[in-house]
Structure 1
Amino acid sequence: MIELDPRMGEARTDGEGVTLVFRRRYAKPLAKVWAAVTDAERLSAWFTPTTIERLEVGGRMEIYFPLLKQDSTATIVTLEPMRAFAWAWHEADYDTLVRFDLAPDGDGCRLTLTHSGLRPEDGPETLGGWHAYLEALEAALEGLASPRDFLARWKAALPLYGAEPGATTLNAGVRL
């Protein structure tokens, strides 16, 4: 029997797109995890520099990827305090949906991250990306400064998802 790493994300094909799902348990109060995914300053500490115009359905988000020198926008589509937060992420030629679902779990919190509407060719690099970001979230919840070492964490995660760092090009054409 093969034992799977519970930190691994999974990919499912749904019609013409791909949906990624990650499940994590954090030994932190739900309110702390909620703040980490909905407060722009806390989100920026583990994800990537992000601003949130208004934390409400219809609110606009600006997401900046320094490595790619690329801005993108998103619109908040779900906001159920302490339960669910989702945004429609506006890519250059299509939209995806990023959703965080939270649930209390004893003295901690369960988080499910779902990223849907991806193109099949984006699956492995996006799995590696969210894997790296969720590692940074864990550190941020522990009060540790999350160094901006995304590229190193991402490169380490890629082989877990069948991609090789030397053979991968980020969406914006940055070759690794």
Structure 2
Amino acid sequence: MREMTESALVAASVDVVWADLTDATRLAEWFWPPRFETEAIVDRVELGRWEVRSSVAELAVIGRVLAIDPPERLRLEWRWEGEEHATDAELTLERAADAATRLTVRHTGFVSDEERASHVDGWSSCLQRLVDRYGGVSTRG
């Protein structure tokens, strides 16, 4: 199985970034481009739903919370709607200098190099939108 890691230094506190990952309204504001008219559902409990959906783009991530340790770690079962194969996405938040947050995404369980590459591009874009929201630096891993 293949894996990827992407990270970003976000110019916002851990609590703010945590809310952007776990509050449905806030997640929908930045996760995909505005033209996607994103909707989200977040149940902040183990085995709760974590979904991001765009009717406009006709895509959805159907996730499930596997572990939640506020405000430092969120681990998700990640499955694209219509697909059987699920992967594992772990998001960790660390306090950084100047009240910033280092957000790291470690996504595992890809069955092909193409699937991995697609997720590297996707997470890189998502993290860049979060950086753009507050300032900071995204890095490709």
Measured against the shorter chain, the TM-score band is 0.7 to 0.9
Structure 2-normalised TM-score? 0.79
Instruction: Give the structure with higher Rg (CA).
Output: 1
* Equivalent residue letter for 1:80: D
Asked if 1:99 corresponds to 2:83, the answer is no
Q: Give the aligned partner of residue 17 of structure 2.
A: 33
Tell me the residue number matched to 2:30: 46
After superposition, the C-alpha distances for 1:25-50 in whole angstroms (9 at most, x for unaligned) are 12221111111111111111111434
**Cα offset, 1:79, TM superposition:** 0.7
**Which residue in the other structure is 1:81 paired with?**
70
Whether the 8 Å contact between 1:96 and 1:115 is mirrored in structure 2 is: yes
| Equivalent residue, structure 2, for 1:112 | 104
Percent identity over paired residues: 23
Q: Which runs of 5+ in 2 are unaligned?
A: 33-37
Residue 35 (structure 2) aligns with: none
Q: Which residue of 2 aligns with 1:134?
A: 127
Alpha-carbon offset, residue 141 of structure 1:
2.9
Secondary structure of 2:45 counterpart: coil
Residues 13-24 of structure 1 mapped to structure 2, 5 A cutoff: 17-24=1-8
Q: 1:70 to 1:27 in 2, by over 3 A?
A: closer
1:63 alignment partner in structure 2: 52
User: Relative to 1, partners in 2 of residues 1:30 and 1:94: Cα closer, same or farther, differing over 3 Å?
Assistant: same
Shift of residue 66 of structure 1? 4.2
Aligned to 1:156: none
Deviations 1:71-122 (A, max 9, x none): 3421111110011012101341211111110111122111111111112221
1:67 to 1:123, Cα distance in 2 relative to 1, 3 A: farther
For residues 4 and 56 of structure 2, what CA distance do their matches in structure 1 show?
Answer: 22
Residues 24 and 42 of structure 2 are in contact (CA less than 8 Å); yes or no, is this contact kept in structure 1? no
Listed as ranges, the gaps of 5+ residues in structure 1 are 1-16, 143-159, 162-176
Bigger share in strand:
2
Q: Aligned pair count?
A: 128
Q: 1:37 to 1:116 in 2, by over 3 A?
A: same
- Superposed CA deviations along residues 152-175 of structure 1, whole A, max 9, x for unmatched, are xxxxxxxx99xxxxxxxxxxxxxx
